[in-house]
Amino acid sequence: MVLAGRVGSSLAVRIGQSAAVGEIVIGILLGPSLFGWLAPDAFNYVFKSAPGEPMQVLSQLGLILLMFQIGLAFDFGHLTEQRNRRAVLWVATAGLVTPFALGFALGWVSAPTLAPGDGHHLATALFVATAFSITALPILGRIMIEFDLTRRPLGVIGISAAAINDVVGWLLLALVSTLAVSQFQAGAFALNVGLVALFGMSCWWVIRPMLKRVVHASQTRSKRVDGQREPLSNNLLGGLLAAIFVASMTTYHLGIFAIFGGFMLGVLLHDERELVDAWQERLGQFTTVFFLPIFFTYTGLRTDIGSLNTPALWGWCLATVFLASAGKFCASYLAARWVGMPPAEAKVLGIMMNTRALMELIVINVGFDMGVISRPQFTMLVIMAIFSTVITAPLLRRWLPQCRPDA
């Protein structure tokens, strides 16, 4: 899995795609969609001859650490950027509301056919809507670096709007998960929301100051003992990992999945630049190279393109891809045009907002684990995530030269 992930990322970069695209596609190909179809005996030996729980555990551990990294890397400065704030708010709002409405409508209409008899049609529609709404901020950031957009006004607008989308998307996922766990009972839902809100406030107002004091004390002590400031000592790393997993277990028991605990811990420490850089240097690459391919392969094992075995299912798949991609792109494009941006720049913003990739896979894995998304729906949403990400780089190459040099 690790070697396949490296091969996939290298091939993707060579053909002008993001490395994550290659890793996702390779993960899908290792599943029943290709490997299991071409060599079923070998596939069963590799992936079915032993219990699947270890891979699931590794996948979840890696996802928790990855979400911590995403929280660390989140730049809240994008949310308060003064320049072009009107464009940011319009694009972010349109790119969130319109896809959510389209996803909810599609999920509600398709649920009786694609998930018959599960009794969770409202939860299904909400998860599909959330999957349609989200933007993959980390992948978009990597693509923007490749295209040298990070310092340009157009890039600032795009990453700021995507950041707002990301924050609201995670809040939506937490809310939808809480609704599903409470089985749409008002009392249970209110209790879960209250507990989640209490957890968030406790993290920000109580845990965050404590963590920051521990981090600074550790860094000061390392300088006093060794004569050199160590941003992430072994003791601090051990304590930090323990805190991440405790937070993850807490959110899991609150019913909003363990990944939110990891993300929250990252957000609490996002402004500790020395710690962030040290984490990326020591553990960031290991998480990306080792854990991420396991998550993609685990997702690939759940994705069976062969399950779309009728024209009707492929029709639903095409509708999913079209509505998700066109809804996000057109809404963001029209919002950018509304605030006076030229057509080429509006198209660039639209295609950047349409990037989903990893974030989409996380959302649909949560929905699949909760039993509110069926396997055919899961496969359709995986295909949509890949398509919406694959088209980003080629269209940026086509439209960016048409933009103003100072945009």
Q: Domain residue spans in the chain?
A: 2-41+57-402
Cα–Cα nearest to 28, from 290, 299, 368, 320: 299
At residue 383, does pLDDT exceed 80? yes
Pair of tokens at residue 108:
């509600």
Sign of the CA dihedral with 187 first, then 188, 189, and 193 last:
positive
Is residue 6 within 8 A of residue 289, CB to CB? The reply is yes
Q: Which amino acid, one-letter code, is at 146?
A: E
- Among 101, 55, 155, 90, residue whose Cα is nearest residue 327: 101
Q: Are the beta carbons of 381 and 320 closer than 8 angstroms?
A: yes
Cα–Cα distance, 230 to 236 (Å, whole number): 10
From 70, 89, 77, select the one nearest 165 (Cα to Cα): 89
Q: How far apart are CA 179 and CA 214, in angstroms?
A: 36
Encode pLDDT of 124-139 as tens digits. 899 999 999 988 776 7
Distance CA 214, CA 273 (A): 15
Tell me how far CA of residue 378 lies from CA of 82, 122, 144, 152, in angstroms: 39, 16, 28, 37
Quote the pLDDT of residue 78. 58
Whether pLDDT at 98 is above 90? yes
Q: What span, in angstroms and rounded, lies between the C-alpha atoms of 55 and 24?
A: 16
Residues in the chain: 407
Residues 6+ away with beta carbon under 8 Å from 193: 175, 178
CB-based contact 358:138 (threshold 8 Å):
yes
Tokens of 407: 């945009």
Of the candidates 18, 106, 78, the residue with the CA atom closest to the CA atom of residue 327: 106
- Give the alpha-carbon dihedral of 118, 120, 125, 130, to 10 degrees: -110
Euclidean distance between CA atoms 150 and 100, whole angstroms: 27
- pLDDT of 39 reads 93
pLDDT range class, residue 104, cuts 50, 70, 90? very high
> What's the pLDDT score for residue 381?
93
Handedness of CA 376, 378, 382, 385 (dihedral sign): positive
pLDDT digits (tens, 9 = 90+) for 168-191: 887 788 788 877 777 666 676 677
Contact 141, 159 (CB under 8 A): yes
* pLDDT over 60 at 401, yes or no: yes
pLDDT bracket for residue 17 (50, 70, 90):
confident
Q: Over the stretch 290-338, which tens digit does the pLDDT of each residue have?
A: 988 888 888 888 888 888 889 999 999 999 999 999 999 999 999 999 9
- The DSSP output letter for 136 is -
Mean model confidence pLDDT for the chain: 86
- Cβ neighbors of 393 (< 8 A, separation 6 or more) are 16, 17, 18, 143, 146
Alpha-carbon 400 to chain mean position: 25
Considering the four listed CATH numbers 3.40.250.10, 1.10.3720.10, 1.20.1530.20, 1.10.20.10, the one that applies to the domain covering 2-41+57-402 is 1.20.1530.20
Please give the residue that has the higher pLDDT: either 144 or 118: 144
The string of pLDDT tens digits covering residues 32-57 is 988 998 999 999 998 888 787 888 88
What is the spatial distance between Cα 183 and Cα 236, in angstroms, rounded to a whole number?
A: 40
